[in-house]
Structure 1
């Protein structure tokens, strides 16, 4: 395997024609930041490059809509986008923009070298022209009636109402969006890059050389190459953009997808005088993080440009994500169907890591995925609060209560198998998290981190230092046993800070603050160590890492989504409402009589122990306290819950069900479960805690 001495990581340049939403975050900015934070923790030489794409038709369209200049638009949205990323902890080394001088000079020089090397084809073609404004019209500047749905405000490239892809020639009664005049066809000259000439090289480089790329990336590239590439114009008729730097090209600018990726190079130039080390030395690993709609540009067009120009490294990987939908519908900025990052930061101050966690947990790594506010609430309350936050808080509270607020010593003579198992688990977790991050499997890496917290809860529950404390006067080893347990839990807490840091950097710093350790403890080499906090050191008072998200907060956010849609529709009647989710199919079993139901004895029980059933992936063996007795119940919920997560949870049990043997274990009842819309099993339990053995009627 090739060895790299430095890393250059880029995240797609968003158009500076509007704010960024959580789909953007999930698509490439959060994954790239997680990857870079991991590399920094490993002390790698890495540069993280970002910025805004400030040329192209979307900018001029937005300027036209708002009645201002394109420069006004990019200045406004550059600041909003930059501040949104900063607030969410996206840790670019530089966040530049393609309208600045360095970029104009770099892109123009890149084009000129290719032109002087004879790498372009000069062609004339007929394009739509507005005689009144004396300007060639990009497809988006042409409006007419959609031949599919009759929308009278369809654009020359797409109908926003029905979503049909169009060409200007297909529109009925086309007219200019700038002057309302009927456009004419007029000849114009442009410079084309003959991409078909690079097909043999691209096939060798991608199809043969990068089979490790994600299936969605590799498959899309193969499809493009199998269908054959065509020459593509690298210039456009416009007054906004980088002027084509050759004679006879007045009124022409560089095509935005020629110009924009060069922004990665120009931004690196701004960042460091040693920029050539990152772009021109073969021992650099270049990684582009993008969304799936940008695959062809980053995997075929830009690499072909780099190859044609010569002297640049090529991307080693392009881990593109799929799309993130919201509440079952595709994100639509024109319909205002989006969760905007700058608004989230205002609505949820101090909870940036919650969104980072949720978006990574549901990241569309291999297929489109869905963000819902209910899932946001569930993951916050049931995972961050109940598992991770719970373990750290219990550890800190018990340390202050039972060990005087200081890190207790570890008494080696009382070490047991459970302690050794925790150490082994940590070593494995470090390896698993690292391997997953190296291979861009961020969801898997996050799950492994969270599993460490689960194991910590399980360990603490098994050790029960609060029970051991009752024997302090009668058992001479009681304090030592408490010391060992809380020493292990504190070291585990410090390890969790290291493992969570790439995903939840703000929370990692909170943990470091409580433990009174410096940030360099977060270096990756420290993960797995059981000597991260010093014996006898006084620690700060515990702080809650996360707080519950209540139902009214979720409702307010869902209402906000729909209100935004209504405003967008009122402003532009051509937009369409999201398609409502289909009503769930109702399956009702045959009618029974009351006497039949009355035979069922439902009791509330509390799960006091849980473990996996050997050689049965779906089964958990539960011990359920019914107040008057303990029952053993085998339940098929192992694919939905970890054993440590459900100890202490109240459940509803069918108490008079005939016993049944499952995998050699006699199951003495059945836990009632419900299945949510995503197929996850959830407990049917009382909303308030009740005494075990209480009847359900």
Structure 2
């Protein structure tokens, strides 16, 4: 069977953390590896999502081109996927020429069939920068919660999706100047025209949403008319809209990015002599999307409508796994509360991460990554059970039988019962992965290793070699068969372990293309390599290196904190310091005091936009001089990947008020 496996496209503006691997990449990889092992014609694709306002806005602020930013993260993502053994057949980019052409083809097809209309709307505009301000190009105060630095499309504080008019006192995110409103025309995709087809598809498709999504989409969206979806933006960065009257407009990233599932496959097939249509137009093929739960709307309604509109196959499964928290807190790039995937594989075996993220909770549930539990499970299950059984068996064969797997004599009922478990575990692995209940199959593998350890201890071949050599050979033969089975059956879950053990057994550095077919073969007479432990225990010191940087800082006492005089200040004057690209000079009022502050925020804020603002400052910092200007306090700000936001107060409060 032809199976297209896709993983949600990582957005090319930051490094990936282990939460992305739990919700999407590891579970997609397990599925792809299983079906390759079963002999299916699998193509596993992904690529970087490189358009949208966050990237273009960041490029403006950093004074670089968007392609410089996306190229950096494309290369970083490729490396981390290689290091974590995510076995993509192709990893593309939405900035490729092929992708651009296919996006424009989708649009023109949908337009020709009457599924796209135009609408004039009022949008924020910056008179200073002479540009419309879509989505995150606008900042302001959230009208729902009062958060003063909400983005144009969402509020980080209350989590609401924001629409035009939901920001109070909106300013341009580039220059900080107040926005105006102008009329603009954009193109909209009429989702309601697909309402009936979507509802029937979701209600009647078996196992379409095996983990999450069906009830949510039916009750939250399909119980009422679907709103048209704006698919173009007034931006320079993106795939251009191929109409003369749409000059200066590009496609919205959620129209552009999902088409990568088709364009990347097409690019792969162009290089490998296959046809993308064999997957997207062949009714006997399967298409399996792996995504994070937070993008279920786009993949469950918007993307299928696009496919219906151009006549391509709908997905067979949309697998939306739960999220990953870290020690009880949501992982977030902005706060640094995360473990980057690249940092993990620098210090620990990649199989440890794959194992824990699958075994610790069902895929449909959110998982709290607790370092102590992670350490305990890896040391107990992988090291003491799976790794220990493999090493005990191979070490004994290497030292007592000259490294040659012995030929058995008559098998006892216990021997046969243990060997028969191999077939049972194989079926469990296949059925659990195919039903997206991954941990049942992985648990069966660990149980098989535990049973092998019990069998080895019960039969004690180290004693048998002295009194019954033939029986000792049989016991070691049975154990070797189990070791081989564990290596082969672990292929989808633990590729590093599988490859290492297979090499110890056979000397071959690559696993068989169809590893499950090797289960019935026997290895008597095979010379093994000198065994070394395949897993090492995780010690406390190593665990501490995984902690996010913010948790490794020295703790301070309440008395230490009380030494800081943090106050609310009002900005009276603001100006750039001559001959400096980054420094601003602020004159602030802190109660009865007037002070000067020098701060490196000139590339983030226009001086005029700060006058009158209430900010938060450290008032008792020792004065310092910058470019001849004495700074008598320090303003406080948050920073996320080079983007700075000044701390302020949510309600009007007198300057000089203490901050506790």
Partner of 1:236: 233
Residues 419 and 488, structure 1, Cα contact 8 Å, conserved in 2: yes
Render the CA deviation track for 1:162-210: whole Å, top value 9, x for unaligned.
5454445233321111122211111111111111111111111111223
Partner of 1:486: 476
Task: Please tell me whether residue 339 in structure 1 is matched to residue 339 in structure 2.
Answer: yes
Task: Please tell me whether residue 304 in structure 1 is matched to residue 293 in structure 2.
Answer: no
Cα distance, 1:258 vs. partner?
1.0
Partner of 2:530: 541
Residues 211 and 321, structure 2, Cα contact 8 Å, conserved in 1: no
Q: Label 1:215 to 1:44 Cα distance change in 2 as closer, same or farther (>3 A).
A: closer
TM-score, L = length of structure 2: 0.81
Segments of 5+ residues of structure 2 without an aligned counterpart are 556-635, 649-660
Partner of 2:78: 82
Residues 10 and 264, structure 1, Cα contact 8 Å, conserved in 2: yes
Residues 6 and 285, structure 1, Cα contact 8 Å, conserved in 2: yes
Cα distance, 1:520 vs. partner?
4.6
* C-alpha separation in 1, matches of 2:71 and 2:554: 26
Segments of 5+ residues of structure 1 without an aligned counterpart are 577-697
Tell me the secondary structure at the aligned position of residue 430 of structure 1: helix
Partner of 2:656: none
Cα distance, 1:211 vs. partner?
5.0
Cα distance, 1:65 vs. partner?
4.1
Residues 423 and 528, structure 1, Cα contact 8 Å, conserved in 2: no
Q: Label 1:208 to 1:568 Cα distance change in 2 as closer, same or farther (>3 A).
A: farther
Tell me the secondary structure at the aligned position of residue 316 of structure 2: strand
* C-alpha separation in 1, matches of 2:243 and 2:645: 44
Render the CA deviation track for 1:336-389: whole Å, top value 9, x for unaligned.
1111112222233xx111111112223561121111221221122111110000
Q: Label 1:248 to 1:559 Cα distance change in 2 as closer, same or farther (>3 A).
A: closer
Match of 1:266 among 263, 272, 275: 263
Matches within 5 A, 1:443-462: 443-462=439-458
Matches within 5 A, 1:414-563: 415-469=411-465, 472=466, 475=467, 478-516=468-506, 518=508, 519-521=510-512, 523-526=514-517, 528-529=519-520, 531-533=521-523, 535-558=524-547, 560-563=549-552
Matches within 5 A, 1:382-421: 382-412=380-410, 415-421=411-417
Q: Label 1:387 to 1:19 Cα distance change in 2 as closer, same or farther (>3 A).
A: same
Task: Please tell me whether residue 119 in structure 1 is matched to residue 106 in structure 2.
Answer: no
Q: Label 1:227 to 1:429 Cα distance change in 2 as closer, same or farther (>3 A).
A: same
Render the CA deviation track for 1:143-162: whole Å, top value 9, x for unaligned.
12344554432222333345
TM-score, L = length of structure 1: 0.77
Cα distance, 1:238 vs. partner?
0.8
Residues 336 and 568, structure 1, Cα contact 8 Å, conserved in 2: no
Residues 337 and 564, structure 1, Cα contact 8 Å, conserved in 2: no
Cα distance, 1:448 vs. partner?
1.5
* C-alpha separation in 2, matches of 1:266 and 1:164: 32
Task: Please tell me whether residue 377 in structure 1 is matched to residue 375 in structure 2.
Answer: yes
Partner of 1:633: none
* C-alpha separation in 2, matches of 1:243 and 1:369: 40
Tell me the secondary structure at the aligned position of residue 424 of structure 2: helix
Render the CA deviation track for 1:605-659: whole Å, top value 9, x for unaligned.
xxxxxxxxxxxxxxxxxxxxxxxxxxxxxxxxxxxxxxxxxxxxxxxxxxxxxxx
Match of 2:204 among 200, 203, 208: 208
Partner of 1:320: 320
Partner of 1:152: 148
Residues 120 and 183, structure 2, Cα contact 8 Å, conserved in 1: yes
Tell me the secondary structure at the aligned position of residue 188 of structure 1: strand
Partner of 2:23: 27
Q: Label 1:479 to 1:574 Cα distance change in 2 as closer, same or farther (>3 A).
A: farther
Residues 168 and 174, structure 1, Cα contact 8 Å, conserved in 2: no
Residues 211 and 218, structure 1, Cα contact 8 Å, conserved in 2: no
* C-alpha separation in 2, matches of 1:139 and 1:9: 31
Tell me the secondary structure at the aligned position of residue 121 of structure 2: strand
Match of 1:220 among 216, 222, 225: 216
Q: Label 1:376 to 1:574 Cα distance change in 2 as closer, same or farther (>3 A).
A: farther
* C-alpha separation in 2, matches of 1:323 and 1:337: 14
Render the CA deviation track for 1:68-87: whole Å, top value 9, x for unaligned.
22111101111001110111
Residues 26 and 364, structure 1, Cα contact 8 Å, conserved in 2: no
CA RMSD, aligned part only?
A: 2.2
Tell me the secondary structure at the aligned position of residue 55 of structure 1: coil
